[in-house]
């Protein structure tokens, strides 16, 4: 039982919604490339989510544990369940694995490059002497791109040629406009530790304009180009629900710090729905 609790605490160094989301996104990319799944596809999804993204988030929790004492004191390091030293050892091990496995499983240069992007981004984002997090807008775009690439790597791993689907553009836009709201929940700790926070420069209301501009582009893509009816419904509902969450925050100040939490949950639910639709076509 004690061993299980220790394992759970280490797994909590990685956000489980991100781990589950990237696992599903990788498999969704696979299904967009071919109409089948095999054990190797699930292995690829596991490596991307529970090795690469586990490294990114575990190393970030180590790097930001002093900030998390204010923002998220319940996390394993600030709560004392895992020491900073052990968290660094754990994340370093994952980082090494993240660099090694692309050499073993990549079927082409594009997939290989994408898989190596993950550990490189994770290091540059959190390593204190570089700390891309201090450039909030740039960091948000790199983060959303990284999460998007979890899906695209599953796609490129199973494609013999470059064929960029319109669905990818919409998914990247949704990820980016959602990630932009992340700093609201971290504002207090970031400010106390002299870390740049996106909401130091742009208010919730102004950021909402960016959000709805992104949704407008998505609806333009959806209704200008031809998509299967079920894809049209899934993306329409997902964009609509994300918009409702932002509107609630516009009229209810107490909801604003919860906005990112609900946005991510609905986004994961939307991606899961899209994955299940593709799965049912097999």
Which residue has better confidence, 97 or 203? 97
Residue, of 236 and 16, whose pLDDT is higher:
236
> b/e string for 91-101 if b means 16 or more Cβ within 10 A?
beebbeebbeb
Q: How many CB atoms lie within 10 A of CB 251?
A: 7
Is the pTM of the predicted complex or chain greater than 0.85? Answer: yes
What are the sequence ranges of the domains in the chain?
2-280
195 three-state secondary structure: coil
Sign, CA dihedral 71-74-77-83, equals positive
- pLDDT at position 33 over 70: yes
pLDDT tens-digit map of 133-156? 888 888 889 999 999 999 999 999
Structure tokens at 282: 């097999």
Instruction: Give the per-residue pLDDT at 18.
Output: 86
272 closest CA partner among 171, 141, 140 = 171
- Asked if 55 contacts 91 with a C-beta cutoff of 8 angstroms, the reply is yes
Distance of alpha carbon 103 from alpha carbon 251, whole angstroms: 50
């Amino acid at each position: 039982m004690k061993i299980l609790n220790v394992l759970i605490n280490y797994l909590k160094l990685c956000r489980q919604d991100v781990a589950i989301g990237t696992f599903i996104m990788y498999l969704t990319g696979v299904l967009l490339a071919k109409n089948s799944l095999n054990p190797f596809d699930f292995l690829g999804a596991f490596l991307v989510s529970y090795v690469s993204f586990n490294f990114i988030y575990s190393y970030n929790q180590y790097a930001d544990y002093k900030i998390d004492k204010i923002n998220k004191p319940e996390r394993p390091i600030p709560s004392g369940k895992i020491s900073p030293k052990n968290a660094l050892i754990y994340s370093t091990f994952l980082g090494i694995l993240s660099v090694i496995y692309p050499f073993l499983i990549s079927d082409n240069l594009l997939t290989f490059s994408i898989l190596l992007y993950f550990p490189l981004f994770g290091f540059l984002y959190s390593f204190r002497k570089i700390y891309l997090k201090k450039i909030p807008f740039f960091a948000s775009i790199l983060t959303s791109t990284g999460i998007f690439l979890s899906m695209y790597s599953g796609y490129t791993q199973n494609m013999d040629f470059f064929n960029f689907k319109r669905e990818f553009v919409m998914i990247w836009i949704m990820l980016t406009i959602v990630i932009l709201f992340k700093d609201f929940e971290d504002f207090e700790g970031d400010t106390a530790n002299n870390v740049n926070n996106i909401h130091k420069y742009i208010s919730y209301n102004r950021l909402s304009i960016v959000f709805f501009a992104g949704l407008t582009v998505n609806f333009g893509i959806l209704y200008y180009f031809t998509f299967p009816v079920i894809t049209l419904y899934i993306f329409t509902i997902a964009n609509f629900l994300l918009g409702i969450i932002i509107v609630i925050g516009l009229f209810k100040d107490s909801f604003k710090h919860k906005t990112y939490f609900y946005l991510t949950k609905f986004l994961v639910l939307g991606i899961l729905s899209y994955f299940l639709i593709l799965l049912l076509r097999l």
